[in-house]
Structure 1
Amino acid sequence: MSPPSSNSLWMEQLQHIAPAPPLAGDTAADVVIVGAGFTGLWTAYYLKQRAPQLDIVVLEAHSAGHGASGRNGGWVIGELAGEERLLAGLAPAARDASLALLRDIPAEVGRVLAKEGLDCDFRHGGVLYCAARYPEQAGWLRQQLAHWHAHGHGEQDFAWLEPAALQQQLRLAQPYGAVFSPHVATIQPARLVRALARRVQELGVRLYEHSAVRAIRRHEAETAHGRVRANWVLPALEAYSAGVAGVRGQQIAVQSMLIATEPLPQQLWDQIGLAHGQAFSEWSRLVSYGQRTRDNRLVFGARGGYRFRGRLRTPFVLTAAEIAMRRQLMLELFPMLAPARITHAWGGNLGVARGFAPQIVVDAANGVICAGGYGGEGVGASNLAARCMAALICGSSDDVLQIPWLTTPAQLRQWEPEPLRWLGYNAILRSFDWEDRVLRNAHSPGWQRRLAQQLARRMAGLMQ
């Protein structure tokens, strides 16, 4: 049996697209955006909706979607990583308004897709957060549900499903219950990012591919073959900011890793479920998640990794052990997939900011606005960040600006120096792995199960 392809399934499914030309020589614009992923392209789109006369340049090191935007799990989530900490200081009315903006992200994406006629397999089917491998997960989920309900969310946002109700949507080997939320959609992300690239070009945006930016300065982005002067420079690089002078250090790179099965026959899907575009996640610190694709594959991801000094992982080829770990998790949930072939195994680099919440960094004196640090939830968060940056550039007092994620370079929290980051990450990871090994073993004694959970909770607290 041939090994899985290391290409992103999403990118491999695209037809060949002729690349846009590289930047050749110096030019000027009103806005230059660095990075043709979701953040950059959504920002170009919303700027053109607000101010069609703006001259906008987008510079991309490879091709549109080459980075995290073409390599993720395909979830459009109506929330932000760390949103409770972000919104904690708001008055109740402002908090409710902010939550409404966040919950509306999948619907907003759907509205744009319908308006512009963009096809990316969009399905607004919600998400199932499942307790599915050991009984403690049901208790964790119920505690989380009570927390959500105590902080402004209703049953219409998060609702408990008993095992029988869960099995009507998703049939797991050991169902202990689930929480359903309607605020998630699934997409084929590479189709969306390439469709956005085409649409903004039709709107007059100048896209230059294979034009890696090596430095960002006051009102300027520099490549090896030319510079762009602009009133505003928007680095939209996430993890890839590590290699660009002027924004290096605002985020660190971590990795996500996924596998995909071959197309599965309908009889298997009748056993699994997911008939209405639902995403699913198994509620553990292994952070496993998945969706059913248009061509009836199961795409399944689980916790990624971190490299010393936050180095990017490229080329991204999963090891046999990394593939086996994700396949084993998948089979614990869906043992009927044991005969299914894994055809693709790939990963992507994404950005995390200190504080583990996304941010928009505004350096008005130098004309630079940078968004990112989405912590793995950037498919949806990038849309809202783009609307915020478009409003800032156009001088609007739009409601989208009420999300309190704007900051300045002077206010940024700095990451601890190495080797503390690497040691801390691995210590946290080991505690999570031990907790999972103990809890998945039905014969572990009660004292050990309690100790493993207590240690993992304390270690998780370091990620604040």
Structure 2
Amino acid sequence: MPTEKEAGTETKQALKSGKVSKANDSCFQPFWFAQAMEQEPPSTINVLTRDIQTDVCIVGGGYTGLWTAINIKQQQPELDVVVIDKGLCGSGASGRNGGCMLTWSTKYLSMKKLYGEQEAIRLVQASEQAIFEIERFCQLHGIDAELRVDGTLYTATNAAQQGSMDPVLKALDQHEINSWQQWQIDRVQQDAGSDLPCEGYYSSAAASVQPAKLARGLKRVAEKMGVVIYENTPMEDINTDVPITITTPEADIYAGKVVLALNAWMMEKFPEFKRSVVLVSSDMAITAPVPEKLKVIGINDGKTIVDSRIFVHYYRTTVDGRLMLGKGGNYFSFANKLSKVFDQPSRYTKILRQSFNRLFPSLSQQSFDATWTGASDRSTTGLPFFGKMKQNANIYYGLGYSGNGVAQTWIGGKILSSMVLEQDNKWSRCGLTSGPKGQFPPEPIRWIGVMIVRDAIRRKEAAEDENKTPLWLDRQLAKFANAAGKADKG
């Protein structure tokens, strides 16, 4: 039996590696969230234990829910706003993503087809504005989220990927909204810390952030504004009659309006969305602090680096000199069930290790301090969607960020707060407010099809890495994934 001191040391070490949380030492917590909770001063968790009435109840204490609450309070501070979360705020996707704050500029052509030219232009500009607005918000409210607006580098790592940015950059140029500039290959490789890239474009409109610290910071600000937050308070049921009644384990909430900000968890309670998104993992690994090694390979700021694969690699450093690498498009959930896979160390460590060694051969002996998995709610368009529930027009929802939502949830908060406050403005009229655009096939067709396409993409990209011509069938199957753009990188 370990001594009390030894047990405490083991728990602290496990917390650092993402194996336990302060809320429940037996539960796995991803690295970012465990780190944020360890640095947070001890406090009592506010759990709902009595029936309450409120003007607005927001279900989900991640980025979308918190930004929505903050926006409502900024505009109408007299309204009673309650947020509930089934765990701790930020313990879902908001606290376990890669912390890459990217924009929608590379999705311009898709948005133009869906929403028209002017709306696509506006959404590109809004997504870039979001980067700097979040930075200003953190500075104004003293949120230390390790946010570094050092831009992003979009690279090609084999000949097949070269030129993939050309069509969208040409379109952005036509409207004078192109924030990208092509860099010379020597500078690309220097800033990427790798000799693998053979092409690269840089945009200053991007950042990296410690995602869980941002979420916990938003929680603190929301509470200071008067938002009442109940954690460890899951929604067990919702009665859509008037008044809307939300049932939790110990009490009911009677609300005039409700915002469902559940993202990947939406399908558990609302089967009508099961075919609107597909749940797919984005898997991440992070090293111990190795600042001197990072200096040697040339990575010395908070820039995010993304490649041009369909299932992208993305990586960035941390302020304490760690190197985080992520890869999207690994585990696809059957029937969109929130499998235990999403709350465990990554089962794809071998793939992450191979990618890491290929990008950084000089660090091939560097072990991973932790790995984890995040569930991404990927829509048919690769873009989020917002709307009102058919059962009751006073129940609003937003989901489908498709692995690119760290900055875009700022927009989500603008949209949902405008809808709740019944405002007629650019956010409530936004093209994203028309609900889901298309559906995936029913099960088991969807899952079988996804597996066939995923494996074809893996074979195609493996061949391209070796400068070989992929099989014709694999190239054709990969086009199904290309329609919605790149996979999870946020």
Q: Please say whether Structure 1 and Structure 2 have the same fold, judged by a TM-score greater than 0.5.
A: yes
**Letter paired with 1:171:** G
1:435 matched to which residue of 2? 460
1:275-326 deviation digits (Å, cap 9, x = unpaired)? 2311001211231001100111011100232121111133622455x10111
**Secondary structure of residue in 2 paired with 1:374:** coil
Q: 2:339 aligns with which of 313, 318, 337?
A: 313
**Secondary structure of residue in 2 paired with 1:434:** helix
Q: 1:376 aligns with which of 397, 403, 406?
A: 403
Q: Aligned pair in 2 of structure 1 residues 80, 402: CA closer, same or farther (>3 Å)? A: farther
By how many angstroms is 1:452 displaced? 6.8
Q: Aligned pair in 2 of structure 1 residues 213, 431: CA closer, same or farther (>3 Å)? A: same
- Taking the aligned partners of 1:421 and 1:81, their CA distance within structure 2 comes to 27
By how many angstroms is 1:53 displaced? 0.7
**Letter paired with 2:202:** F
Q: Aligned pair in 2 of structure 1 residues 130, 38: CA closer, same or farther (>3 Å)? A: same
Q: Aligned pair in 2 of structure 1 residues 419, 191: CA closer, same or farther (>3 Å)? A: same
**Secondary structure of residue in 1 paired with 2:266:** helix
Q: 1:276 aligns with which of 301, 309, 317?
A: 301
- Taking the aligned partners of 1:245 and 1:233, their CA distance within structure 2 comes to 14
1:204-237 deviation digits (Å, cap 9, x = unpaired)? 1111111110223322322122221112110100
**Letter paired with 2:371:** A
Work out whether residues 394 and 420 of structure 2, in 8 Å CA contact, stay in contact via their aligned partners in 1. no
By how many angstroms is 1:94 displaced? 4.4
**Letter paired with 2:378:** V
- Taking the aligned partners of 2:273 and 2:120, their CA distance within structure 1 comes to 32
Q: Aligned pair in 2 of structure 1 residues 22, 338: CA closer, same or farther (>3 Å)? A: same
- 1:458 is the counterpart of 2:479: yes
- Taking the aligned partners of 2:105 and 2:125, their CA distance within structure 1 comes to 12
- Taking the aligned partners of 1:286 and 1:350, their CA distance within structure 2 comes to 13
- Taking the aligned partners of 1:286 and 1:70, their CA distance within structure 2 comes to 21
By how many angstroms is 1:80 displaced? 7.7
- Taking the aligned partners of 1:404 and 1:380, their CA distance within structure 2 comes to 18
**Letter paired with 2:285:** I
Q: Aligned pair in 2 of structure 1 residues 191, 182: CA closer, same or farther (>3 Å)? A: same
**Letter paired with 1:64:** C
1:106 matched to which residue of 2? 131
Map 1:87-166 to 2 at 5 A: 87-88=112-113, 92-132=117-157, 134-146=158-170, 148-149=172-173, 152=175, 154-155=177-178, 157-166=179-188
**Secondary structure of residue in 1 paired with 2:246:** strand
Work out whether residues 26 and 226 of structure 1, in 8 Å CA contact, stay in contact via their aligned partners in 2. yes
**Secondary structure of residue in 2 paired with 1:346:** strand
By how many angstroms is 1:135 displaced? 1.8
Aligned Cα RMSD in Å? 2.5
2:83 matched to which residue of 1? 58
By how many angstroms is 1:100 displaced? 1.7
**Letter paired with 2:404:** E
- Taking the aligned partners of 1:462 and 1:224, their CA distance within structure 2 comes to 42
By how many angstroms is 1:414 displaced? 3.5
Work out whether residues 251 and 373 of structure 1, in 8 Å CA contact, stay in contact via their aligned partners in 2. yes
1:406-429 deviation digits (Å, cap 9, x = unpaired)? 125xx7634321111111111111
Larger mean CA deviation between 66-75 and 387-396 belongs to: 387-396
- Taking the aligned partners of 1:42 and 1:265, their CA distance within structure 2 comes to 33
Q: Aligned pair in 2 of structure 1 residues 136, 238: CA closer, same or farther (>3 Å)? A: same
Give me the identity figure in percent: 23
- Taking the aligned partners of 2:120 and 2:163, their CA distance within structure 1 comes to 27
- Taking the aligned partners of 2:408 and 2:204, their CA distance within structure 1 comes to 16
Larger mean CA deviation between 21-30 and 40-49 belongs to: 21-30
2:451 matched to which residue of 1? 426
- Taking the aligned partners of 1:453 and 1:125, their CA distance within structure 2 comes to 37
By how many angstroms is 1:463 displaced? 5.0
- Taking the aligned partners of 1:136 and 1:252, their CA distance within structure 2 comes to 27
1:207 matched to which residue of 2? 229
2:421 matched to which residue of 1? 394
Work out whether residues 19 and 63 of structure 1, in 8 Å CA contact, stay in contact via their aligned partners in 2. no
- Taking the aligned partners of 2:71 and 2:194, their CA distance within structure 1 comes to 41
- Taking the aligned partners of 1:44 and 1:371, their CA distance within structure 2 comes to 14
**Secondary structure of residue in 2 paired with 1:216:** strand
**Letter paired with 2:415:** C
- Taking the aligned partners of 1:319 and 1:379, their CA distance within structure 2 comes to 21
By how many angstroms is 1:73 displaced? 0.3
- Taking the aligned partners of 1:413 and 1:451, their CA distance within structure 2 comes to 27
**Letter paired with 1:360:** F
**Secondary structure of residue in 2 paired with 1:225:** coil
- Taking the aligned partners of 1:453 and 1:144, their CA distance within structure 2 comes to 24
Q: 2:56 aligns with which of 14, 27, 31?
A: 31
For structure 1, list consecutive stretches of 5 or more residues without a partner in the other structure: none
1:45 matched to which residue of 2? 70
**Secondary structure of residue in 1 paired with 2:162:** helix
Larger mean CA deviation between 158-167 and 62-71 belongs to: 158-167
Q: 2:442 aligns with which of 406, 412, 417?
A: 417
Q: Aligned pair in 2 of structure 1 residues 420, 453: CA closer, same or farther (>3 Å)? A: closer
2:488 matched to which residue of 1? none
By how many angstroms is 1:122 displaced? 0.7
TM-score, normalising length from structure 2? 0.85
Q: 1:363 aligns with which of 380, 389, 393?
A: 389
